[in-house]
């Protein structure tokens, strides 16, 4: 069975690629390397013994995408490709809507033309936005509060409409919580461009000496230690969730959303302290004002993914901290040296 991964060279895409190959799937990657590295392909081969087929294309470019669909007999699509920085999306909303929505529409048009009926979408917990409870459940209304989140929310609606119109279509919306960690080989991991926006890559860059200290964005939230609480999930658990979703899409039609999280919230200081303890390194930090747009606390209710997909997380916060650090230590400059 042949699976198209758009954005398959990215952080979550590359880990999912490995999980798919190890589960016996054939993988075709479409990536324009705007936020990922070609070196990932060799690393995937080192880990799995298989180098996935690569199309270096912009998925929004329908002519290139059509060529791919004409050449490969694709059975299902997992759509990761997209811009993902919340702050940048507020500065350049048009660019975010154009890119994230165009790529999805091009895919849907090609899937219709080539009769491909299974679509797994890389959505985000950010679609829930400012909700009135902190344990997110799939049937809560979506209410994203920034352009990035709204691209995910609008794409979910586009995919729901597509599945209403075509009763043979199977769409799975995967709402990720906060992916951290790396493959245990230390060969692939999160490789942000420039100054990291997210907590874990910032911590690992402090640990490796690339940044002086972490800024903890606010310690006056109504949470146990005053710092923000999130549901951190190991990227390999997240990758396994995609394989479960793919299996589900083989036997089911319609459109379903699933939270992919652990169900447990940890604070920023929980992460810092666990990282220090597990890896025996100091993380100097300073408390700064809250970051605009951050919510105090949220985490997943993961019951639906367990009951329907038969999937749950296996890795601990200790695993996440150890694996993030191994990746950073082995690759202090990410993939850039290659
Ligand atoms: N934080 C810091 N200092 C930093 C970075 C983050 O204190 O340098 C704090 C944040 O305030 C927050 C927590 O660490 O409390 C996690 O922040 P991240 O930036 O790592 O993650 P977010 O929860 O803000 O957002 C992430 C992704 C989004 C995605 C969302 C889904 O960046 O793309 O999870 O839940 F939509």
Mean pLDDT of 30-53: 97
* pLDDT at 127 > cutoff 80: yes
Give domain status of residue 125, yes or no.
Answer: yes
Domain count, the chain: 1
| Residue 272, ligand 1, Cβ within 6 A | no
Residue 338 has pLDDT above 80, yes or no: no
Residue nearest to atom 30 of ligand 1 (CA): 126
Does residue 232 come out as left (phi exceeding 0), alpha (psi in the -120 to 50 range) or beta? Answer: beta
If you measure from the C-alpha of residue 294 to the centroid of ligand 1, how many angstroms do you get, rounded to a whole number?
8
- Calculate how far, in angstroms, residue 197's C-alpha sits from the geometric centre of ligand 1: 7
| Structural domain harbouring 246 | 2-182+232-262
What pLDDT digit, counting tens, does each position of 213-257 carry? 999 999 999 999 999 999 999 999 999 999 999 999 999 999 999
Q: Ligand 1 pocket check: which of 84, 212, 218, 268 to mutate, most ligand atoms within 8 Å of Cβ?
A: 268
Residue 146 near residue 198 (C-beta atoms within 8 A):
no
> Which has more pLDDT, 132 or 140?
140
The per-residue pLDDT for 149 is: 96
Indicate whether 279 belongs to any domain: no
Q: 143: exposed, middle or buried (C-beta count within 10 Å: 0-12, 13-18, 19+)?
A: middle
Alpha helices in the chain (DSSP H): 11-22, 39-48, 62-71, 86-91, 93-113, 147-165, 199-207, 235-251, 268-279, 303-304, 317-330
| CB 7 within 8 Å of CB 13 | yes
Q: Please indicate whether residue 146, judged by its CB atom, sits closer than 6 Å to ligand 1.
A: no
291 domain-assigned: no
Residue 206 belongs to some domain of the structure: no
Q: Is the CB of 291 under 6 A from ligand 1?
A: yes
Report how far ligand 1's centroid is from the alpha carbon of 234 (Å): 15
**Cβ of 152 less than 6 Å from ligand 1:** no
Question: Cβ(126) to ligand 1 under 6 A?
Answer: yes
Closest atom of ligand 1 relative to the 231 alpha carbon: 35
pLDDT at 130: 86
Would you say 57 and 72 are in contact if contact means Cβ atoms under 8 Å apart? no
Q: Is the pLDDT of residue 147 over 80?
A: yes
pLDDT, the chain, mean:
97
Give the mean pLDDT of 18-22. 98
The answer to whether residue 193 sits within a structural domain is no
Domain-embedded: residue 100: yes
22: β partners: none
- Reported confidence tier of residue 337, pLDDT bands at 50, 70, 90: low
268 lines ligand 1 (CB under 6 A): yes
Let me know if residue 163 belongs to a domain: yes
Residue 214 alpha carbon, nearest atom of ligand 1: 8
Q: Pick the residue whose CA is nearest to atom 14 on ligand 1.
A: 199
The rounded Å distance from CA 91 to ligand 1 centre is 18
| Model confidence band, residue 125 (pLDDT cutoffs 50, 70, 90) | very high
Residue 250 belongs to domain with CATH number: 3.40.50.720
Query: Per-residue pLDDT tens for 55-96?
Result: 999 999 999 999 999 999 999 999 999 999 999 999 999 999
């Amino acid at each position: 069975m042949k699976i198209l991964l758009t954005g398959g060279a990215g952080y979550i895409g590359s880990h999912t690629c490995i999980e798919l190959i190890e589960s016996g799937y054939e993988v075709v990657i479409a990536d324009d390397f705007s936020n990922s590295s070609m070196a990932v392909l060799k690393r995937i081969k080192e880990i799995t013994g298989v180098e996935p087929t690569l199309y270096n294309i912009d998925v929004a470019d329908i002519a290139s995408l059509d060529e791919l669909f004409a050449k490969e007999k694709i059975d299902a699509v997992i759509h990761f490709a997209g811009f993902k920085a919340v702050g940048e999306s507020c500065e350049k909303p048009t660019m975010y809507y154009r890119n994230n929505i165009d790529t999805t529409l091009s895919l849907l048009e090609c899937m219709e033309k080539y009769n491909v009926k299974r679509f797994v979408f890389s959505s985000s917990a950010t679609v829930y936005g400012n909700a009135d409870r902190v344990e997110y459940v799939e049937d809560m209304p979506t209410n994203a509060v920034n352009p990035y989140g709204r691209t995910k929310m609008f794409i979910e609606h586009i995919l729901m409409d597509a599945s209403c119109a075509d009763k043979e279509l199977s769409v799975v919306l995967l709402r990720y919580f906060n992916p951290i960690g790396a493959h245990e080989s230390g060969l692939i991991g999160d490789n942000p461009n420039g100054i990291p926006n997210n907590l874990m890559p910032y911590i690992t860059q402090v640990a490796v000496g690339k940044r002086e200290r972490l800024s903890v964005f606010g310690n006056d939230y109504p949470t146990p230690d005053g710092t923000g609480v999130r549901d951190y999930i190991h990227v390999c658990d997240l990758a396994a969730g995609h394989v479960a979703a793919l299996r589900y899409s083989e036997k089911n039609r319609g459109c379903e959303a699933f939270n992919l999280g652990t169900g447990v919230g940890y604070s920023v200081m929980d992460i810092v302290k666990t990282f220090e303890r597990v890896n025996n390194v100091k993380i100097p930090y300073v408390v700064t004002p809250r970051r605009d747009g951050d919510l105090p606390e949220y985490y997943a209710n993961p019951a639906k993914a367990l009951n329907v997909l038969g999937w749950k997380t296996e890795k601990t916060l200790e695993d996440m901290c150890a694996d993030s650090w191994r990746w950073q230590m082995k690759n202090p400059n990410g993939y850039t040296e290659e």
